[in-house]
Structure 1
Amino acid sequence: MDNDFIKVSENNKTLSPMKLFYNWFAANIGIMGFVYGAIIVTYHLSFFQSITAALIGALTFAIPGWVAMIGKREGVTTFKMSRAAFGTYGNKIPNFMAWLNMVGWLAVNIITGTLLFSSMLKTIHISQNMFTKAVCLLVFAGLVILTGFFKEDTLARIQTWLSWICGILTVMMLVIFLAKANWDAAFAMKSGSWLTGWLPAVAFIVAGSSISWAMSAADWGAYVRSQSRPSSTFWGTTLGAATPLFFLMAGGVMLSTISPSLATASNPYQVMYGAVPGWFGFAYF
């Protein structure tokens, strides 16, 4: 198999490190970050321990950053690059596991989007039942399938706009949480064990974010322009993903002082909606 087939062609390498930053930013500004922050608190940690767990967990996106840098250097996606380690036939096993991981997270994202869409409709007094949820599922899944037909350059443009729009709305959400947070309760949280509490909390974040993304990190890195510096690809990936995730989880830690049931709620978005002004909840959702 020749390099022209394996490697991304030069005319398809349209991503700059800044576009790469926006790609990762948009991919990790999902509202689940708030729920992750609330789950951190359930490990019985202090406010300081919870925030540092969120920070260290988010910074482990250096792992996908390293993979993306290799993808940029070699010009190949993760699935093709892993052949060097496992061989053509041996690569089928890790690729199958990677496929299961990606399909699993796609399902989680579609379910999350469906619940969010359904909760948004409830804010304008459209009743939630099986029919409306089915419609929400079909609309959201259809939008996800539609994006599969877009080129990398088109997706980069979309995700740049999403980063700015969702980023501004998330900052507004965090300001609301800062104003409404029960700071006395936050600072009164007792310290837990660094070994049996803090470390598992970090491991939970890593398993649910950076490790899962590592197996596809080169898929974007391979589309970065050849003249870009490898270090820029690393930092564009690492900071693009870590920045929104950290602030979302920090917001989730603060939100848990307002709505302690967030981490265990069957529909956490209804809990979140109850913590913000109604007009903003609809806009954010």
Structure 2
Amino acid sequence: MAPDRIFWSHFSPNLAPAAWVIGVLVVSLGLSGWRAFVVVLAGNVLGALPVAACAAMGPDTGLPQMEASRFSFGSTGKRLPALINWVNCIGWDAVNNVPSAVALILLARIGGIEVPFWLAMAALALAQLLASAAGHDTVQTIEKYLGWILLAAFAFSGWMAVTHRPQGGPAAMPQPADAAHILLALGATSSFTLAWTAYASDYTRYVSRHTGRGKVFALTFGGIFSSAMLMESFGLLTGAMIASPSPESVILSLQTWMGPLAPVALAAIALSSIAINAANDNTAAYALISAGSRIPRPLSAVLTAGLAYMLAVMGEGRFTTLYENALLMALYWIAPWCGIVLTDWYARPPCLQQGRMTTPPGWSPSATLFVAVTGITILMFSSTPLYTSPVAHMLQGADIGYLVGFALAAGGQYLILRQQAHRSRPTSTKADQT
């Protein structure tokens, strides 16, 4: 696999209205100017670094990301996070398609054609399904060439939005942000990119081992960081003029600001879900296999796309309450999982280095650690519309669950490795001591 595909695989999926919404959200929390830019910059660095570190595992393991976690979680233990990731992929599939379906309906309406929601969703789901079922190489080819198209379209749309937007808007400027709102903005920004850790090595595992970890790391980090910063910066610059931090508000605002050139932005938004969900469906298929399913990969992709389609159509009109809240809770597992996997891979004591790619049988202590830390993170630190933890209440709604979950899991995994290293040392005999 050509190394440049690493960049495009992590760049193109973030060229989507969801990233623009993150920037609008930061503004709605009361941040503006350089303060907002620094928070978005810091959040993207925090989120992109673990993704790049996971991606750098790919050439050595030759495995998809969830399957590679078997080295720490065990042959049975890795099935739980893999199953959670598959369910998460179904939800993301539906969430990513709804804004694109809205854009497709508006685009068709400009041409005098009324397209029902279910048909717009079906067209998008079919295009994504064909791409993901065709396999890894097709997905990465789509990411590369569609990435150029999306970059040009969104760059033009963003320039038009920033320079031609009206001087008045529907949204009132919020009050200046306090520490709690800054933490909320940092958490939202970092979690958006951190979610890609579960996908990272899926699109680096066919790179030659001679490419070097540093190059794989840099290409991954550059791809995910630059695309997220670009789209979120547009959100920062236009956030005060958008009614609410939602994909629908962003789409309608762009359509208004661009006037007769609105089809450019609408087409880019419609196409963006293909870049995201082609990779998403492919990763979901890998995850379902790692969870223990014997369904062939192409059929796994079909199953994922089909369930996501039904979920989106059944939930029409309840997009925010039905999907976004559930997905926010689902993200809490990623930080502990990532902390365990990265610590096991990069922080092994020298005496355990040779066993780095040995799969422990059954359910390992790391899998138990994962369940415990995920539960603690949700119960004590999470802040979502579904549930607000005691610590989040004390911090006025600020969410530090991702940071705490990663730190607790990484620290716990390091202690497990130290204990394993201690047990692996040969016991000294009296003769040896003499």
In the alignment, residue 277 of structure 1 is paired with which amino acid? G
State the match for 1:6 in structure 2: none
In the alignment, residue 152 of structure 2 is paired with which amino acid? I
Query: Aligned-pair distance for 1:53?
Result: 2.1
State the match for 2:83 in structure 1: 96
Cα distance change of structure 1 residues 121 and 282 upon mapping to structure 2, 3 Å threshold: same
State the match for 1:221 in structure 2: 204
State the match for 2:122 in structure 1: 138
In the alignment, residue 284 of structure 1 is paired with which amino acid? A
Q: Note if contact 2:21-2:250 (Cα within 8 Å) is conserved in structure 1.
A: yes
Q: Note if contact 1:40-1:50 (Cα within 8 Å) is conserved in structure 2.
A: yes
What secondary structure is seen at the aligned counterpart in 1 of 2:31?
coil
State the match for 1:42 in structure 2: 28
Unmatched segments (≥5 aa) in structure 1: 1-13
Tell me how many residue pairs correspond in the alignment. Answer: 262
Q: Note if contact 1:36-1:249 (Cα within 8 Å) is conserved in structure 2.
A: yes
State the match for 1:85 in structure 2: 72
d(CA) in 2 for partners of 1:267, 1:133: 17
Q: Note if contact 1:119-1:269 (Cα within 8 Å) is conserved in structure 2.
A: no
Query: Aligned-pair distance for 1:67?
Result: 0.2
Unmatched segments (≥5 aa) in structure 2: 267-434
State the match for 2:256 in structure 1: 274
d(CA) in 2 for partners of 1:266, 1:232: 38
d(CA) in 1 for partners of 2:75, 2:101: 38
Q: Note if contact 1:262-1:271 (Cα within 8 Å) is conserved in structure 2.
A: no
1:116-160 Cα offsets, whole Å, 9 max, x none, are: 211222233334xxx621211110111111112223233222221
Moved over 4 A (4+): 181-185, 188-191, 264-267
Match of 1:235 among 218, 224, 239: 218
1:248-285 Cα offsets, whole Å, 9 max, x none, are: 1110121223x330425755412221121322x20232
Identity %: 18
State the match for 2:306 in structure 1: none
d(CA) in 2 for partners of 1:72, 1:265: 36
State the match for 2:152 in structure 1: 168
Match of 2:10 among 24, 32, 51: 24
Flag the structure with larger Rg: 2
Match of 2:183 among 188, 199, 208: 199
Higher relative contact order at CA 8 Å, sep ≥6: structure 1 or structure 2? 1
Query: Aligned-pair distance for 1:183?
Result: 8.7
Match of 1:283 among 264, 278, 292: 264
Q: Note if contact 1:101-1:212 (Cα within 8 Å) is conserved in structure 2.
A: no
What secondary structure is seen at the aligned counterpart in 1 of 2:76?
helix
Query: Aligned-pair distance for 1:164?
Result: 1.2
Structure 1 window deviating more from structure 2 (117-126 vs 175-184): it is 175-184
d(CA) in 2 for partners of 1:225, 1:118: 43
Query: Aligned-pair distance for 1:191?
Result: 4.4
d(CA) in 2 for partners of 1:255, 1:169: 17
Cα RMSD (Å) of the superposition?
A: 2.3
